[in-house]
Amino acid sequence: MRLLFVCVGNTCRSQMAEGIARDLGHVAASAGTHASESSRVAKYAIEVLEEIGVDTNGLHPKGIDAVYPANYDAIISMGCGVSCPSLPIDDDWGLEDPHGRGREVYRKTRDTIRELVSNLVEGFTDA
């Protein structure tokens, strides 16, 4: 599957979703409505992905102008009220933003994202 994950800053949840989806064998990207190319992916997001063996090479914040929606089978919002006329959001996962919180919150978010990506993929395969 080709999956696009969107949020506001593109430094935490959507980056973790991109890495996890790739790890599960899918083509994945992430983008933010207000992402800054000068920002970095959150330190804990990188750490908790690497803890479970997810390759974090190439993860970096990017704006929604850097993606073409028609290239994806599903576009998922992380739950930050992303509303963008150029992106047809297929689902909103309603995930709490771990930004500025501890490593354990990032781990919990990572585990929830892994489960959601797995379920999403199963749902598409069953259809």
pLDDT tens digits, 29-41 = 999 988 876 689 9
- How many angstroms separate the CA atoms of 23 and 64, rounded? 22
pLDDT (tens digit, 0 to 9) for every residue of the chain, 127 residues total?
A: 999 999 988 999 999 999 999 999 999 999 998 887 668 999 999 999 999 999 999 999 999 888 888 999 999 999 866 666 667 888 999 999 999 999 999 999 999 999 999 998 565 554 4
pLDDT above 90 as % of the chain: 65
DSSP annotation string for 75-122: EEE-SS----TTS---EE--PPP-TTS-HHHHHHHHHHHHHHHHHHHH
Convert 37-88 into a string of H (helix), E (strand) and C (coil): CCCCCCHHHHHHHHHCCCCCCCCCCCEHHHCCHHHCCEEEECCCCCCCCCCC
- Give the pLDDT confidence score for residue 89 in this predicted structure: 87
* Chain Cα centroid distance, residue 34: 15
Q: What domains can you pick out in the chain, each with its CATH number?
A: 2-126 (3.40.50.2300)
- Tell me, what DSSP letter sits at residue 51? H
pLDDT tens digits, 54-68 = 999 999 999 988 888
- Give the pLDDT confidence score for residue 103 in this predicted structure: 97
- How many angstroms separate the CA atoms of 32 and 77, rounded? 10
**Residue 48, both tokens:** 């908790």
- How many angstroms separate the CA atoms of 23 and 1, rounded? 12
